Structure 1
Amino acid sequence: MSTVAVGGTFEYLHYGHKKLLEKAVELATSGGEVHIGVTSDKMANNSKINVSGYHIRKNNIIHYMNTKYAGNINYRIFELNNSFGPAIEYDYDYIVVSPETYNNALKINEFRKKNGLNLIKIIQINYILAEDGKPISSTRIKKGIIDSNGKLIL
């Protein structure tokens, strides 16, 4: 029974995001729980692209989790107002990250070690590649280069 953290902006809830969530669910099976941090509007507006509002992104995750897992997994969604969220104090077993957020996970564990807390096992999921061999990203989707499954838009 594991408690697993995962976080992000989750704009467009693309195939790469779904793989992160799937891994978190896999690690939390048998009565565990997934804690999903979604960046606040304030944090998200610092990104390179215009991002949908927090409640839209949160509701997209709720819809995905309820459709894909139909009540078979315990999960909570919370608003992230900084890069670390509750991971610097809550006793998670795992944190699931992408290559883009791996360094944040290392910083979380540095903070935890300094404060005498157990380290969180970091599970890194590789980028999911689009048809053109480049990572699926919300920026590329927003620009109309690929769709949320990584298919090239001609």
Structure 2
Amino acid sequence: MNVALGGTFDPVHDGHRALFERAFELGDVTVGLTSDELAPKTRHVDRYVRSFAERKRDLERELEPLAAEYGREFAVHELTEPTGIATEPRFDALVVSPETEDTGERINELREESGVDPLDIVVVDHVIAEDGDVISSTRIVNGEIDEHGNVTPERDGRDATR
């Protein structure tokens, strides 16, 4: 099975790791990583996002051991639009988080309009932080929590522009 998922992944955290693990359970994985131009447009909060090259390097470091553990292949491709690679016919499934499930449905509409079979949409629940709220990159960047969801009141966040 060929599995797609996408995101900005800045920084990678345990919620992302849950997505990656589920994707590798299903098959070979292609990750669409938002381009430098697209990344700020996908944010709900204005904040600095590291470069595509930096994010890709860190993402590949995360994916390599999982791919080896599951005996799967993976690739990282640049996303220049929100529906990205998942509209391509070669994919069978799309792994999403609850907040991106609607994008998955939109991707299936686009696939059907072009005569391509819909994807199986696999929703992976949020991972909850120590304080009971969702782990998110924004919360990590703001200094509220670390990548594992531990509360970090002593940390300073990353500025909106760096």
TM-score w.r.t. length of structure 2: 0.87
Task: Report the identity percentage.
Answer: 38
1:38 paired to 2:33: yes
Deviations 1:22-42 (A, max 9, x none): 0000000xxxx2110100011
For structure 2, the 5+ residue unaligned runs are: 154-162
| Contact map agreement 2:21 2:66 (CA 8 A) in 1 | no
What is the CA RMSD across the aligned residues, in angstroms? 1.3
For structure 1, the 5+ residue unaligned runs are: none
- Which consecutive aligned stretches of 4+ in structure 1 deviate over 6 angstroms post-superposition? none
Deviations 1:98-119 (A, max 9, x none): 0121111000101111222101
Aligned to 2:59: 61
Q: Given residue 87 of structure 1, which amino acid in structure 2 is its aligned partner?
A: A
Give the 3-state SS of the residue equivalent to 1:70 in structure 2. helix
1:89 shift after superposition: 2.6
Aligned to 2:21: 22
Query: How many residue pairs end up in the alignment?
Result: 149
| Contact map agreement 1:91 1:118 (CA 8 A) in 2 | no
CA distance in 1, matches of 2:64, 2:116: 33
CA distance in 2, matches of 1:15, 1:23: 12
1:66 shift after superposition: 1.8
TM-score w.r.t. length of structure 1: 0.92
Query: Pairwise mapping of residues 68-87 of structure 1 onto structure 2 (< 5 A)?
Result: 68-70=66-68, 72-87=71-86
| Contact map agreement 2:67 2:73 (CA 8 A) in 1 | no
Aligned to 2:147: 148
